[in-house]
Amino acid sequence: MANEIAGPASKALASLTQAQISFLQSLPKAELHAHLNGCIPISELQKMAREYSGTSLSSGSVLEGIAKLQAGVVLDQLSDFFGLFSAIYALTSNPDSLRRATRAVLTQFLDGENPQCEYLELRSTPRETPEMSRMEYVCAVLDEVERYPKSRAALIVSLDRRMTDEVVSECINIALDLKEAGRRVVGVDLCGDPQAGDMDTLSEHFAAAKRGGLGVTLHIAETLENPAQETLKLLSYAPDRLGHATFLNEDAKTVVREAGTPIEVCLSSNLLCKTVSSIEGHHIRYYLRHDHPIAICTDDTLPFRNSLLGEYALLLASPPLGLGLSENEVRRIAAMGMNARFGVATL
């Protein structure tokens, strides 16, 4: 199982009674912020690494990368996080291996006696490799997503902040063309290293996505270093949801609250990347205080060793392990997540 090494979510889960766990399992939950390559179960990744037939040099560094993930990742800051993906990417660089990884991620969230969630909006960044185009990448992921009914799974196409304008344009067109062709793309996302890229050039791309009926979600103000001007610029694209929104200043908070934009909250991710120092100090409290819509999400179950159930356990568990919310409050939060699905509006 992927989540054996205790992180905040599994510690919170371990502190709950069986009745509390059953309560959390019984809630209809939506996972709206999960990155495909960040959510491959470690057992599957290890199998893929053993079968990997790259050059011996890269296969050594892939195995080293996987071993690091297996040992449990300790991050000093968010920028340390992005280096984790090179080994994973080597293993998901052709349509077959990508399909296999996608299948394992979907199974982890949606299958079994007690699925993690009722509905999953999986997101992934189209990657061009010697073995596939970006279009082939997205189609391979969609083939797996579409094995599930519409009411259970959909895809968000991620744009990485390091992409050139040309590649952003290609990805938006892929998302729009596939949606038009009846494939299950429901939105686009902006992700990647928060320090990278130029956010001034994205306006037309997000406008095109919106005109084509796609939802727009943006990783925003994930670190203290994200300039306030950049945050306001991203908000001017009228996103439908926001990822993290950890460091909004008062102006940005006003915009977000007036627009009622739901926030994808990733508690373990923020704690383990040290953008938030403790659960008591997490910005979720601000949104709860203002009765602002939120969706509880996992982000990357592979490095963070969490699960959606574990993230909900962080809401219910008593301090200091969790927020100590009541069952009624947690039920309401789960309903907010379900209401924030892009699939509701666009499918």
Give the interface with ligand 6MZ as residue ranges (CB under 6 A).
Answer: 35-38, 81, 85, 124-125, 158, 160, 191-192, 219, 222, 269, 273, 299-300
Residue 320: count of CB within 10 angstroms of its CB: 9
3-class DSSP state of 326: coil
Q: Contact, 318 vs 311, CB < 8 A?
A: no
CB-facing half-sphere around the CA of 116: CA atoms within 13 A: 26
The answer to whether 128 is a known catalytic residue is no
| Alpha-carbon span 185 to 36, nearest angstrom | 14
**Closest listed residue to residue 123, CA positions, set 344, 342, 346:** 342
Catalytically annotated residue among 44, 121, 222, 311: 222
**Closest listed residue to residue 232, CA positions, set 214, 215, 244, 245:** 245
175 CA to centre of own chain: 18
**Shortest spacing between CB 191 and ligand 6MZ, in angstroms:** 4
| Helical spans, DSSP H, in the chain | 8-14, 18-26, 42-51, 56-71, 78-81, 85-91, 95-110, 134-145, 165-180, 203-211, 228-235, 250-259, 267-272, 284-289, 301-304, 308-316, 327-339, 342-346
Which helix (H) or strand (E) segment holds residue 32: the answer is strand 30-35
| Alpha-carbon span 58 to 87, nearest angstrom | 9
Q: How do 215-220 and 241-244 pair as beta strands? A: parallel
**Shortest spacing between CB 241 and ligand 6MZ, in angstroms:** 14
Residues 6+ apart with CB under 8 A from 347: 150, 154, 184, 186
Q: Which is nearer to ligand 6MZ, 93 or 269 (CB)?
A: 269
Positions marked active-site: 222
